[in-house]
Amino acid sequence: MADELILRRQDSRFIPDWERDKFWSVICRGENVGAIVLQTLAGADTVWSWSIQLHAGRHGNGLAGQSGQADTREAAMAEFRDAFDRTMAHLGPDGWAHHVEHMAALAARSGTKPPSYS
């Protein structure tokens, strides 16, 4: 069974209220694993960009296809899902554990606690 992916609006003091629907975090097992963002391109065209942001150390060697673009948020979510499933199969439990440890270490170093998405 595939891991549940939860889409949440990014909460940042740098994002104005009127832009909140453009910036989304992707959460898995209570950890931030990526982002989906609406970007305005030259000529006022827009595209939904997505990227997987896992810090799996050596377990991530050889991975490709960790980002992309789509015409709609729903299409970006579907592309993210496909790429995330391939990524998790490649990383395995050890790669996931490395990501969780890495994020906890960053939070400890910055003196903050990691956000709780559970």
What is the model's pLDDT at position 47? 94
Is 83 a residue whose pLDDT tops 60? yes
pTM: 0.83
Question: What is the per-residue pLDDT across 21-59, written as a single tens digit (0 to 9) for each?
Answer: 889 999 999 899 999 999 988 777 899 999 999 887 777
Contacts of 92 (CB under 8 A, 6+ apart): 59
Structure tokens at 111: 């003196």
Least confident stretch, 5-9, 39-43, 50-54, 93-97? 39-43
Is 10 a residue whose pLDDT tops 60? yes
User: What is the arithmetic mean of pLDDT over 101-115?
Assistant: 79
What is the model's pLDDT at position 110? 80
Rounded CA gap, 1 and 36, in Å? 23
Asked if 71 contacts 61 with a C-beta cutoff of 8 angstroms, the reply is: no
